[in-house]
Amino acid sequence: MFGVTILGNNSALPAYDRHPTAQLVTLNEQLFLIDCGEGTQMQISRYRIRHSKIGHIFISHLHGDHYFGLIGLITSMGLLGREHPLNLYGPASLIDIITLQLKVADTTLPFSLIFHPLEKEGLILDHPKYSVSCFETRHRIPCWGFLISEKRNPRKIIREKVIEYEVPAAFYDQLKIGLDYVSKTGVVVSNELVTTPNIPDSSYAYCADTKYTESIAEKVKDANLLYHETTYLKELEERAIARFHSTTIQAANFAIKANAKKLLIGHFSSKYEKLDEFLLETKTVFHNTELAIEGVSYRID
């Protein structure tokens, strides 16, 4: 299971019961939180998500609509007795803010908060089953996007065949990476007989807040699901440029450049009550688009 659940889809000002940015990526049993606007802990409760399962939090930049809910979430985790470590990735100053807020409250967290400052593009988390890398976007202040990739084995076991050829379960992991099995009596079971090619790795690209910038497309090439902001409809392109944000058409053109399989749009300006037009406009250029709607989960595959 690889997917993303939207907890907040609005830009700077909360409006029409839309919340500032927060997204929860589920990757098998892991939960990654990307950005954490004000009220994210309430949204987590509302959608009955177990925040104890969040192991890693990624903060794109230090505009409030992307992190004002972080300190509340962290202190609530502490009040609820969390003991296992929490990894936090974000701009270097983020930890100064949190440290100051904990200090004035005379609060010591009952778990380790492991902070990883974002300083250069590249791999920030590497695990046998997944990896996360960060890349710079173009915003008014330093801002990072995140690329989360599920690592898959190149081969997938055919259950009936491994039984038929009597391959011991202990050898399955080696079959998955393409090795042949040689029995104790020297009989060779060719890998192709007991496995099939697996589907390729999947990836989710979160492009945070950014003005339209083609060069970023290279960094998120071929993403299965690409999240790109559409703060404004196309008629406000000048405003989007001035404020380092993007329009529907720009997000769609970016998705084409990046060769994304699917596009997810969000970070809607609070000037818009209805969102239908966002979807219509974006689809005129990139058809496989969905609106990021709070409480909805989108599969990544």
Q: Of 15, 113, 241, 296, which one interacts with a second copy (CB under 8 A)?
A: 15
Q: Of 80, 179, 242, 280, which one interacts with a second copy (CB under 8 A)?
A: 80
Task: Spell out the residues 6+ positions from residue 49 whose beta carbon is closer than 8 angstroms to its own.
Answer: 5, 24, 31
CB closer to a second copy out of 93 and 196: 93
| Measured CA angle at 257 (ends 301, 139), to 5 deg | 95
Q: Of 3, 47, 55, 75, which one interacts with a second copy (CB under 8 A)?
A: 75
As measured in angstroms, the least distance from the Cβ of 69 to a second copy is 7
**Residue 267 falls in which region: left (phi positive, over 0), alpha (psi -120 to 50) or beta:** left
As measured in angstroms, the least distance from the Cβ of 141 to a second copy is 5
In 3D space, the residue among 38, 34, 33 whose CA is nearest the CA of residue 14 turns out to be: 38
Q: Does 12 bind a second copy (CB under 8 A)?
A: yes
Site size for a second copy (CB under 8 A): 33
Cβ–Cβ under 8 Å, residues 37 and 63: no
CA distance 3 to 187: 42
Q: Does 62 bind a second copy (CB under 8 A)?
A: yes
65: annotated active-site residue: yes
Q: Which stretch binds a second copy (CB under 8 A): 59-67, 127-135, 193-201, 252-260?
A: 59-67
17, 35, 65, 180: which one is catalytic?
65
How are beta strands 297-299 and 86-90 bridged, if at all?
Answer: unpaired
In 3D space, the residue among 55, 52, 60 whose CA is nearest the CA of residue 22 turns out to be: 60
Q: Which stretch binds a second copy (CB under 8 A): 61-69, 143-151, 157-165, 172-180?
A: 61-69
As measured in angstroms, the least distance from the Cβ of 196 to a second copy is 48
Cβ–Cβ under 8 Å, residues 150 and 201: yes
Task: Spell out the residues 6+ positions from residue 100 whose beta carbon is closer than 8 angstroms to its own.
Answer: none
Binding residues for a second copy (CB under 8 A)? 12-15, 19, 38-39, 41-42, 45, 62-64, 68-69, 71-72, 75-76, 79-80, 91, 93-94, 96-97, 100-101, 104-106, 140-141
Q: What residues act catalytically?
A: 65
